[in-house]
Structure 1
């Protein structure tokens, strides 16, 4: 894997040299606007400014967080030293950085570097949570950051499927969605963070927040049942509440879909397809082949969105979707609606007892961004 990443770096440098000399030059792509309310996507095949986008967004924000500001982050894993170095730089110039990582992944050198930096800055810390941070079992799997300020922008919240790992940009199709100047979203994430950093079991850990009159929202797992059924599943509730039939278009891109939860969500998608809804599904390596066959038999378009021979082991040498994503457009109240749901929730039973988040986003602009990204991946595979 290291050799492959080295080859990729050399190819990028060679491409830059050729462009600079006028040979093999590609059209120039402007660097992203890092401070927009927008989706940011990682294409593992990309080079130049189009590459490493989710990673570069996070690094940019730590490097542009002013002294005296506060950053809170949750991540299943932290192994990318470029990100941990940015965290350390921020701590050293006076940014308070508070990080929650799954205990099983707290032994990495990247985590250790941040821990060392916090020794001399007592307001900053790294908490390694045992299982879910708010209930027995599960794990910390949420991927989110809140920044009190980045440059002159306040109340920044970032959420999606991108782990703080080298694999997260080198091999994975991932996303991060960012809200800027949104104190309501910022406060919701920080309210849950306040519970997570205590690392104590709660009888009712599930939290749900509504934004924009219910058009947007955030759902924070675990659910309130150690043996969840479809009745406990917010995604089941979402799918069954969407209008079924012509005019409804559902796209799903999920890294994992298996187990009893994968089965009942497959049933929900098939019910839509049989009623006339258009349903498109992209699966990652851990998806259940039998569920894929059931979807295809019901007329659902299924794309195996990973390189041939790819396994679910993250240290493999192939590209694959790591998304936990759904989009829908439908008619309600006489008007066409556009929704995106993204975050850290794989469509597997285990996810319901993890620390996970799903962010609901309303509006045609973000919907179009995500649909374009999904369609781009479908064309690759």
Structure 2
């Protein structure tokens, strides 16, 4: 029998040898196993372990990996990977690209997402239309690209959170030269366009392009871009972020433009109740993606809870959450994660923070999740707002990506303008977008600080 090993096979083999030696009593649990293997003089025992592991590896090469093996292959404490920058696939019959920033892999600043946005802007031909929602901006290159688009005959319309109006940053000064640029404010003094809360923000990060090219240079109509990245250094290229671009999807494009029009026209609703499923307001359904917009009145539904509730958790289920911060303000979200764990689903979270202040997660939430067996790590400068699910939807298992601008906080649901996006499931034999987000999650999780109840706030 001839075995051909790739890097995943090698890593799996290491784990199999380790578990055999550990379970056979040759290795203790108090020190790294590779060091103990070097010092082991019982060569016969090691060879026996190797033979058993090789047999197991041979069987593994002929059979699908179990979920447990997938986790062994995917997550290594303390490993800083090269950093995945992009992934592409087809969802709902439409071409979709994902782009990621992973600053530790690029000397602390990763321009992947902002460079892609600039490329899209530059590719829009004269006579085309660009619409954008910008929470904050300080990157001159993006502002310059938008002004250059207007100069060459592209219609450019922008809405910005109101706090930008008083900024002296050169990028903001450039955007003030855009003929159709609005800085949103409301009667309560907040910076939102739709929301009326004094604490609310226009936190959406979204652009639409009547025409733009994909990374290979093919020109498409009806292009939509959205994600977690702001257009500032601190919460853009200096932080972990993700962005999605969907090509030639007219229903999605029209829906996001309708939402843009509501922001542009500053349409306000009583009690901040913009999202209303009964009336059809504030959400936009399409084949490649469904978009749910905030704010929503306090005491109504929770758009993320409703989507999580689509899954029947079991032992095959996997939930991974990459989030800038998690507060106590959405207890039903916490209950959903606990429901997943109670149903047998494995759950991992990576949440932002720093070595001085610790994790950006309330202690009561932190303790409840750890008590339920959720694996939590803190990693500096996580600005993502996504989660991945492999789980049972109805009678079938699916791989799904959920992203957008919403943090897991009360203000994201009830006060801010946000979008939360559910991508359609990848129905083929492969799932490259899910895999791309899985790798992006691990880029932060693998080098994060492991959180325990005794080390709160996970410094």
Alignment of 1:188-199 (within 5 A): 188-199=255-266
Alignment of 1:63-142 (within 5 A): 63-108=122-167, 109=169, 110-118=171-179, 124-130=180-186, 131=190, 132-137=192-197, 138-142=200-204
Change (3 A) 1:60 1:274: same
Provide the C-alpha distance between the structure 2 equivalents of 1:84 and 1:64, rounded to a whole number of angstroms: 15
Aligned to 2:402: 341
Taking structure 2 as the reference length, the TM-score comes to: 0.67
SS at match of 1:46: helix
User: C-alpha deviations, 1:199-240, integer Å up to 9, x for none?
Assistant: 23124421122222xx731101111x1xx23x5211122223
Aligned to 2:385: 324
Contact conserved, 1:256 with 1:283, CA < 8 A, in 2? yes
After TM superposition, give the deviation of residue 32 of structure 1 in Å: 8.7
1:163 aligns with 2:230: yes
Provide the C-alpha distance between the structure 2 equivalents of 1:105 and 1:41, rounded to a whole number of angstroms: 25
Contact conserved, 1:156 with 1:186, CA < 8 A, in 2? yes
User: C-alpha deviations, 1:317-375, integer Å up to 9, x for none?
Assistant: xxx11011111111234432111110000100011121100111121332111111112
After TM superposition, give the deviation of residue 187 of structure 1 in Å: 0.6
Provide the C-alpha distance between the structure 1 equivalents of 2:161 and 2:96, rounded to a whole number of angstroms: 28
Change (3 A) 1:31 1:337: closer
Contact conserved, 1:101 with 1:129, CA < 8 A, in 2? no
SS at match of 2:309: helix
SS at match of 1:133: coil
1:357 aligns with 2:432: no
1:303 aligns with 2:371: no
Provide the C-alpha distance between the structure 1 equivalents of 2:416 and 2:85, rounded to a whole number of angstroms: 38
Aligned to 2:290: 217
Alignment of 1:23-34 (within 5 A): none
Provide the C-alpha distance between the structure 2 equivalents of 1:376 and 1:32, rounded to a whole number of angstroms: 14
Change (3 A) 1:220 1:117: closer
Contact conserved, 2:136 with 2:231, CA < 8 A, in 1? yes
Which structure has the larger Rg over C-alpha atoms? 2
Change (3 A) 1:278 1:31: closer
Contact conserved, 2:160 with 2:181, CA < 8 A, in 1? no
After TM superposition, give the deviation of residue 71 of structure 1 in Å: 0.5
- In structure 2, stretches of 5+ residues that fail to align are 1-81, 89-93, 214-218, 276-281, 354-359, 449-459
> What RMSD in Å do the two structures reach over aligned CA positions?
2.4
Change (3 A) 1:32 1:281: closer
Aligned to 1:271: 339
1:177 aligns with 2:251: no
Contact conserved, 2:86 with 2:97, CA < 8 A, in 1? no
Contact conserved, 2:412 with 2:418, CA < 8 A, in 1? yes
Contact conserved, 2:86 with 2:99, CA < 8 A, in 1? no
SS at match of 1:260: coil
1:149 aligns with 2:208: no
Change (3 A) 1:361 1:332: same
Provide the C-alpha distance between the structure 2 equivalents of 1:379 and 1:267, rounded to a whole number of angstroms: 26
Change (3 A) 1:84 1:296: same
Change (3 A) 1:153 1:129: farther
Contact conserved, 1:254 with 1:324, CA < 8 A, in 2? yes
Aligned to 2:350: 282
Taking structure 1 as the reference length, the TM-score comes to: 0.80
After TM superposition, give the deviation of residue 298 of structure 1 in Å: 1.0
Provide the C-alpha distance between the structure 1 equivalents of 2:304 and 2:375, rounded to a whole number of angstroms: 20
- In structure 1, stretches of 5+ residues that fail to align are 1-26, 119-123, 307-319
Change (3 A) 1:85 1:371: same
SS at match of 1:88: helix
SS at match of 2:176: helix
Contact conserved, 2:350 with 2:378, CA < 8 A, in 1? yes
SS at match of 1:41: strand
Aligned to 2:106: 47
| Paired positions, count | 327
